[in-house]
Chains A and B, each alone.
Chain A
Amino acid sequence: MATPERPTVIKVLLIGPSSSGKTSLLKRYVDDVFEPDDTTTTIGVDFREKKLTINKKLYRLLLHDTAGQERFRTLTSSYYRGAHGILLVYDVSNRDSFLSMAGWFAEAERFAPEGVIKILVGNKTDRTAQRAVKASEGEELAQKYGAIHFTETSAKTRDHAKEPFQKLIEAVISTPGALDANRPVAGSSAVDLAKEDPNNAGCAC
């Protein structure tokens, strides 16, 4: 039986350079599929939803997949607002993609709410022969930029593919204040547009 309780919303962003496998990881996580020769780059932003029950509590996970390609970026300051967690994804078989991560951390730093939980992901571990980034380098980068967790994944083989999502959710749920801290601030002063003042039908001049 579904509880009448409203699910708690957790907003997660996936960011990182184009072709690092953000969309693939997301599909793996949400639908458990992988499309190998999919050359489809994300344009704009994709939006997926997943409902979770954790400890009998209902959560609505809003996953925003973004475009890594500069020309299709729709990330804007407002887009980051209210985010609880950010997955920063690079490709372990592509050195440039790893090197670009400082820029992605900077962007997250700039736009995301304070205290947002960041996780660094090195994807495509199945491409062992082409590996261009050591795990220790990823570890170091995560530490440097305050990501709470680093993991290497393969969306293709499923290797650890769900881990970053799960760690993120776990952290958001278990960190005191993380869920409401990033909610729109200053609730008291904000005007509730959905609630018209019943006592007042305009000015009683």
Chain B
Amino acid sequence: MKKQNIDRRHFIKISSLASGGLVIGFTLPGFQAVAAPTFDCEFFQPNAYLKIDKQGKVTVFVGKQESGQGVDTALPMIVAEELDVDFRDVKSEIAPYGTLKEGEHDTGGSQSVMTVYTQLRNAGAVAKAMLITAAANVWKIKESSCAADNGEVVNTITNKRIKYGELVCQAALLPIPATVTLKNPKDFKLIGKSEKRSGLKDILTGKTKYGIDLKIEGMLYAVSERCPVLDGTLVSVDDAAAKKVPGVVKVVSYTGTGAPMHVRAGVAVVATNIWAAIKARNLLDITWDEGKKNKESTEALFKTFETKATGKPQIEIFKKGDVSKYSKNEISATYAEPFLAHATMEPVNFIASVKGDTCELWGGLQLPDWAVNSIAGIGGFKKRKH
């Protein structure tokens, strides 16, 4: 019996997947039949970014928030490119919070593709390399005599082919290669091409679940009236009428926070259904002290920008190529952005479920780490590693 070298981290994953506590870590001599893997596995998951099941279906775990910019399509395309699979066999799922590094779940600055591009290519290439090794072992040939093509490994000597799905249990036993070779961009089949948005049909039939569509057993709804001005404070609230609305459970006042969250002071109505909460909020009689910022305006803000920018050294934000070659065509422009709300169509919403000393959170978030860290701080919860 020949012992297989198994990466420890990988091994734990496989062991926990193998049914019936089957001890694994070696292959049987004379093993040939591809259809009869050495152990039972559900899928092959070499890293946090993808898994492949026995039918060859690929799931790409997307760590960025899909909000119409297309990351649920673009990021899986990058993985599929290096993996060499039919894009119709690829679906995307949200990367469970905590499976990626802190910060990697953040979405912003139009940088999703740019920031994870290499990582995702690597992730796909690693999986492909392991599938190739698995096939080479089956055929007892060198990896260099194997090639990946559209969800299959090809034996370049005999032209025989094995589907990825039939290799996943063998690939799952292999050590994860430390380095892999990425494709030459001239061989790209997916990257740079146009693909139909994933999940389109679900949107068109009303099946897509947005944060606001989630419900959990016994949940209460809170809606809040916020101070119209940042850093303003609550002077008084008369909630007598609001509390009479059937379904209202509680009225809670809270103070605002400064940077970085900039939560404005507010009064929240908690009720058994959202309509009761909305109706009661409209009955709150609130007096605010709007504070010092209620005189601020866009004009004043732009003046501040100008004064602050004058005489300051410039910062280079982006550089590509040799600009001096094109200096004849120099274009200069000044841009200033006012203070604007994102004004998303979906009202900002979030679910927290506190049970004993644990708290579970659901929401569509640009920066989940911020939410988790703030809530952990406020509620005294410990962060659990995934």
Please indicate whether A and B come from the same complex rather than being unrelated chains: no
User: B-side interface residues toward A, CB under 8 Å?
Assistant: none
